[in-house]
Amino acid sequence: MSEDLSDEELQALLASAGKPDAKVGGNPLVSAPLSYDFKRPQRVNKDQLRVIESIHEQFARLFSSSLAGSMRMVIDVDLAFVDQVIYSEFILSLNTPCSAYSFTMDPPSAPAVLCFAPELLMALVDRAFGGQGRGYEGEPRPLTQIESNIVNKLVNRVFSDLESTWELTTPVRIADIIMETNPEFIQIANSSDPVVLLAFEAHSNNVQSLIHLCYPLTALEPLLPELSPDYKQRGQRPAPERSLSHNRTLDNVKVPVKVQVAEGSLPLRELADLRKGDIVKLDTNKNDPAIVFLGNQPKFLGLPGLDGKRRAVKIQRVIDGSEEEFYR
């Protein structure tokens, strides 16, 4: 037998009609509807998205090192955002022509695409031809064959960085790299398919640009079970303990440090005619970082300056092992 409502409960019911989450006697009457944006399907949960973000922050650091090495200037790459969208949204956001590189990740043998903004690639080309690394300010245009050859060296290094980034989670091999300049021809997913989109911001004194990395969900789904928050601990070996003898014998060893501020070349006839007061123009720009050598090994890039009355250098970044030969 049902109980009659009290006068107080009846008044509360009438007063709350049409209100979401209304309560009578402490019990909810109506639940507020939850909105769902079908154009932004949330197929990857928040924990997995955070792991993807953490993985690609490491990629940004490797990317920054490769880009700075290729351009021989200080340039930083930071992860700007990670989002879940549908594929058509990503394609519509690209310029025509673009510089997009589709590729296959194996496993799971699924396609993805990395897209560079034209101003960054033109800054790279400008730097390769002795300029200051300024972006192209005109209308976007396709790269020439010579420009493509210069850019491809960087692209290969960046894909190597991406393979290294995934190594801690699950080893992947990147293959079938194809450049495309028309966004409509980048066929890695259907227009309504969900994708995970990452944007990276590259910035220096002379250029600021975005790079996009797009994974269709079909590429990530087989990897999602591996995207647990403890991925950083995988594959890491414990650091060996330093012995007492090591401390005594090596810690006080002095290593010669040399800073190369600039370099250049002269024809032999001009070199023979040099006199006091002559000015020698070097190939290095005034904003280029100095190269810091430990012994004969290039190890750091930095900014030269003064510390009190003594010359000094402020370390900006470590030179990656793959770059050492480039800076010798």
Which tens digits make up the pLDDT trace of 277-303?
888 888 777 777 888 888 778 888 888
Residue 306 lies in a domain: yes
Q: Are residues 227 and 262 in the same domain?
A: no
Q: Are residues 219 and 103 in the same domain?
A: yes
In the numeric block, which tokens belong to residue 250?
């090596």
Residue 2 lies in a domain: no
Q: Give me the pLDDT at residue 150, please.
A: 92
Q: Give me the pLDDT at residue 243, please.
A: 44
Average pLDDT, the chain: 81
Comparing 3 with 62, the larger pLDDT belongs to 62
Q: Give me the pLDDT at residue 9, please.
A: 64
Residue 218 lies in a domain: yes
Comparing 140 with 131, the larger pLDDT belongs to 131
Rounded Cα distance between 66 and 154, Å, is 7
Q: Give me the pLDDT at residue 244, please.
A: 44
Q: Give me the pLDDT at residue 245, please.
A: 46
Rounded Cα distance between 327 and 324, Å, is 5
Q: Are residues 90 and 222 in the same domain?
A: yes
- Is residue 147 very low, low, confident or very high in pLDDT (cuts 50, 70, 90)? very high
Q: Are residues 320 and 262 in the same domain?
A: yes
Q: Give me the pLDDT at residue 133, please.
A: 84
Q: Are residues 154 and 259 in the same domain?
A: no
Residue 31 has pLDDT above 90, yes or no: no
Q: Are residues 95 and 137 in the same domain?
A: yes
Q: Are residues 200 and 110 in the same domain?
A: yes
The 8-class DSSP code of residue 115 comes to: E
Q: Are residues 204 and 280 in the same domain?
A: no
Give 289: exposed, middle or buried? Use CB within 10 Å, 0-12, 13-18, 19+.
Answer: buried
Comparing 132 with 283, the larger pLDDT belongs to 132
| DSSP string across 124-144 | HHHHHTTS--PPP-SS--PPP
> Maximum CA pair distance of the chain?
114
User: With pLDDT > 90 as the criterion, what percentage of the chain qualifies?
Assistant: 35
- Among 24-28, 30-34, 238-242, the range scoring the smallest mean pLDDT is 238-242
Residue 216 lies in a domain: yes
Residue type, 258: K
Domain enclosing residue 82, as ranges:
46-233
Average pLDDT over residues 170-182: 93
In the numeric block, which tokens belong to residue 100?
């997009």
Q: Are residues 196 and 71 in the same domain?
A: yes
Residue 115 has pLDDT above 90, yes or no: yes
Q: Are residues 291 and 170 in the same domain?
A: no
Select from 186, 115, 180, 103 the least CA-distant residue to 142.
Answer: 180
Residue 272 has pLDDT above 90, yes or no: no
Q: Give me the pLDDT at residue 104, please.
A: 95
Last residue of a domain, one of 233, 267, 296: 233
Q: Give me the pLDDT at residue 240, please.
A: 45
Residue 1 lies in a domain: no
CATH code for the domain of 66: 3.40.1550.10
What would the pLDDT profile of 196-210 be if each residue is shown by its tens digit?
A: 999 999 998 888 999
pTM as predicted: 0.64
CATH code for the domain of 317: 2.30.330.10
Rounded Cα distance between 32 and 21, Å, is 6
Average pLDDT over residues 55-74: 89
In the numeric block, which tokens belong to residue 190?
């259907």
Kind and range of the H or E run holding 155: helix 145-166
Instruction: Give the contacts of 318 (CB within 8 A, at least 6 positions apart).
Output: 65, 299, 300
What would the pLDDT profile of 208-259 be if each residue is shown by its tens digit?
A: 999 999 999 988 988 888 876 665 555 444 444 444 444 544 466 677 888 8
Residue 178 lies in a domain: yes
Q: Are residues 54 and 161 in the same domain?
A: yes
Last residue of a domain, one of 233, 268, 299: 233
Q: Number of structural domains, the chain?
A: 2
Q: Are residues 58 and 131 in the same domain?
A: yes
- Is residue 186 very low, low, confident or very high in pLDDT (cuts 50, 70, 90)? very high
**How many CA atoms lie within 13 Å of 176's alpha carbon, on the beta-carbon side?**
11
Report yes or no: 103 and 92 within 8 Å, Cβ to Cβ: no
Residue 124 lies in a domain: yes
- Among 17-21, 150-154, 188-192, the range scoring the smallest mean pLDDT is 17-21
Residue 155 lies in a domain: yes
- Is residue 194 very low, low, confident or very high in pLDDT (cuts 50, 70, 90)? very high
Report yes or no: 218 and 109 within 8 Å, Cβ to Cβ: no
